[in-house]
Copies of this chain bind each other. A is one copy, B any other.
Amino acid sequence: MPLDPVAPAAAVGGGGPSVRPRNVTMREVAERLGVSIKTVSNVLNERPNVGPATRERVQQAIRELNYRPQVGAQQMRTGTTGLITLAIPSLAGTYFSELAQAFADEAQRRRRSIMLHSTAAGREEEASVLSGFTRVLGDGVVFNPLQIGEDVVAGLDRTIQPTVFIGEHLEETGLPAGSDYVRTDNASAAEDATRHLLDLGRTHVVYLGALDVVEAQQAHSTSRLRLCGFHRAIAEAGLGEGVVQTVPTWTQEGGLGAVQTLMREHPETDGIVCGNDDLARGVLLGLRGLGIDVPGQVSVIGHDNILESPFTTPPLTTIDPDKQALAATVLDLLIERIGGYDGPPRVVEAPYRLVVRGSAG
């Protein structure tokens, strides 16, 4: 074995800190075995034309030298990095942080990494997602727009990178080429939730979750859509308009306060459809405080199936948007596009299911 003229990261003698080892390259692996670089590459990429003995020796050497491919070089050759950008409004908030976690898990399972891009700053930040960031890095984008509406998205005739939109904002038509869309049908979900309570024989079912500030209500499309589903179910059952209880914020405190008002003004209430599980948790606490039995006197149903929902007293019945499945679907679509698929935009309805626990049913 010839001596390397430039000792690669020689250990410093004495008590000084050891020097960070240079990254091992394929060349070093190849040289140690006396094979060509390409053979090492073939082993790594599971290409044919490598004998089993050689394959084994290469794998051994890779382990011993602790070799890892350098993604930058791969990007140059192949154009891909295995990186996916997740652009969401903010991690602060139960739903989005759990969603991000689901994406992290599912991406890891598919041997991709997630790059986090927070669009909390608003419209401008969101626009930068669509115009393609400042550096070419990821292979594709998962984008949950909040501020940006159909107008901006529709203005594109083609996304810069493969993109999958998620959410409930966009029109199904008019998606730019090169993108897909995974819709969450919040209206139908809320309709199902409401109907579940009606099916249990409840006759005075209330929606708790409209925002009490009008502008907020306008902007908060999730709230709007869920309310709409509630109205549909109530109307279908021939119960007229239905009672709607507003809240200041979609938090536990908000739910707790609102349910006290509600039960005072509408003591006949026997079912409450909550905008989300945080609200529902507050509602459960509030009802307990008022000495009202759940689900004996009042049934309560939430939305989101957050991690804590099974642990409330009683356990919360809720709509599970199945974040894990959503992430899986989104990633599969995106990876297909990254892989070269360039068909017209696909729209997929994200599944959700009713999780029946103690609080209703």
Contacts and interface: CB of A to CB of B under 8 A. Distances in A.
A136 B17 contact: no
A228 interface: no
A133 B82 CA distance: 13
Interface in A272-309: 281, 285, 289, 307-308
A59 interface: no
B71 A75 contact: yes
Interface string A72-107: 111110000111001000111100011011001100
Nearest to A12: B342
Contacts of A90: 101
A173 interface: no
Contact of A74 (B17, B72, B307): B72
A135 B76 contact: no
A115 B117 contact: no
Interface residues of A, number: 69
B311 A285 contact: no
Given A97-B91, A134-B68, A177-B17, A253 B113 contact: no
Contacts of A81: 71-72, 137
A132 B251 contact: no
A7 to B, nearest CB: 14
Contacts of A71: 72, 75, 81, 135-137
A114 interface: yes
A253 B256 CA distance: 13
A252 interface: yes
Contact of A252 (B17, B97, B111, B281): B281
A56 interface: no
A251 B308 contact: yes
A342 B17 contact: yes
A19 interface: yes
A95 B43 CA distance: 43
B253 A313 contact: yes
B118 A115 contact: no
A339 to B, nearest CB: 13
A344 B311 contact: no
Given A115-B115, A289-B289, A342 B20 contact: yes
Contact of A92 (B82, B101, B251): B101
A18 B177 contact: yes
A346 interface: no
Contacts of A97: 91-93, 97, 100
A249 interface: yes
22 contacts: A17-B178, A66-B131, A66-B132, A68-B135, A71-B135, A72-B81, A73-B76, A82-B135, A83-B115, A90-B101, A91-B91, A91-B100, A92-B97, A92-B98, A93-B97, A97-B97, A101-B118, A108-B117, A108-B118, A114-B115, A115-B116, A116-B116
7 closest A-B pairs by beta carbon, nearest first, are A72-B75, A97-B97, A17-B177, A72-B72, A91-B101, A104-B118, A70-B136
